[in-house]
Structure 1
Amino acid sequence: MPLVIYTVLRLLLFAVALGVGYLVGLRSWLLLLVAIVVAFGVAYLVLTKQKDAAARWLAERAERRRAGQEGLDRVIDEDAAAEDSAVDEASRTDGPNRNLGPQ
C-alpha cells in the first residue's frame, strides 16, 4: 500500500508541475520536460518518508516471495524424489522386458 501512496503523490506532483508550467506559458515537449524534471526534484526532496516506506514494503514483499519460493522448491524436490523412487521400484519389479505400452 505505501507504494500506491508514493506513486499517487508523485503523479500528483507531476500534474501540479504540468499545470503550473502551462499557466506560465510553456507548451509542447518543453512543458512535459520541465514538468518531469520539477516533479522529480520536488519528489526527491519532499517525499523521502513515503519513498522509504515504499522501499521497506517492497523489500518485505520480496522476502515473503523468496520464502514462499523456497517452500515451493522443497515440495517440488520431494515430489521429484518420490516419482524417481516409484519409477526405480517399477523397473526393479518389471525387469528389463517390461511392457512399455503399444509399439
Structure 2
Amino acid sequence: MPVLVYSVLRVALFAVVTALLWWLGMRSWLAPLLAAFLAWGLSYVLLAGPRDAAARHLAHRAQERRAGRAGGRAGDDAAAEDAADDALRGGAAPSAGAGAGTGAGAAGAAAGPSGSAGPVAADVEDPDGATRRDPA
C-alpha cells in the first residue's frame, strides 16, 4: 500500500505543477516536460517520508520472498539429493558385488576380479570417451 500512496502522490504533484505552469501562461508541449523535472525535484524534497515507507515496504517484501524461496527450495533440493543418493547407493551396491562373475558389462569390468572396487557411481566418462575413477 505505501508504494501505491507514493505513486499517487507523485502523479498528483506532477498534475499540480503542470496545471500551475499552464495557468502561468506556458501553454505548449514544454509545460508537461518542465513539470516532470520540477515534480521530480519537488517529490525528492517533499515526499521523503512516503518514499522511505515505500522503500521499506519493498525491502521487507523482497526479504520475505527470498526467505520463503530459500527455505522451500533448500528443503526440496535436499530431499531430491537424498533420493538420488539413495538410488545410486542402493542400485550400485548389488551390481558391484554380483557383477564381477556375471559379465555385467562396465560394472563387472570396473569392479575387477574380486568385485571390491566400490560403487559404479564413482566411474566418470571423460569427453573423449575414456572412463576414469573419480577421486570423490
Same fold at TM > 0.5: yes
Superposition deviation, residue 52 in structure 1: 1.1
Deviates more, 1:73-82 or 1:58-67: 73-82
Matches within 5 A, 1:1-103: 1-26=1-26, 27-28=28-29, 30-88=30-88, 89-93=90-94
- The higher radius of gyration belongs to 2
Q: 1: distance between equivalents of 2:91 and 2:11? A: 62
Q: Which has the higher strand share?
A: 2
Superposition deviation, residue 71 in structure 1: 0.6
| TM-score, scaled relative to structure 2 | 0.61
Deviations 1:16-61 (A, max 9, x none): 1111222223211x11221111111211111111111111111111
| TM-score, scaled relative to structure 1 | 0.78
Superposition deviation, residue 7 in structure 1: 0.7
Superposition deviation, residue 4 in structure 1: 0.8
Deviates more, 1:33-42 or 1:78-87: 78-87
Superposition deviation, residue 86 in structure 1: 4.4
Q: 1: distance between equivalents of 2:79 and 2:15? A: 53
Unaligned runs of 5+ in 1: 98-103
Identity of aligned residues (%): 35
Count of aligned residue pairs for this structure pair: 97
Q: Which has the higher helix share?
A: 1
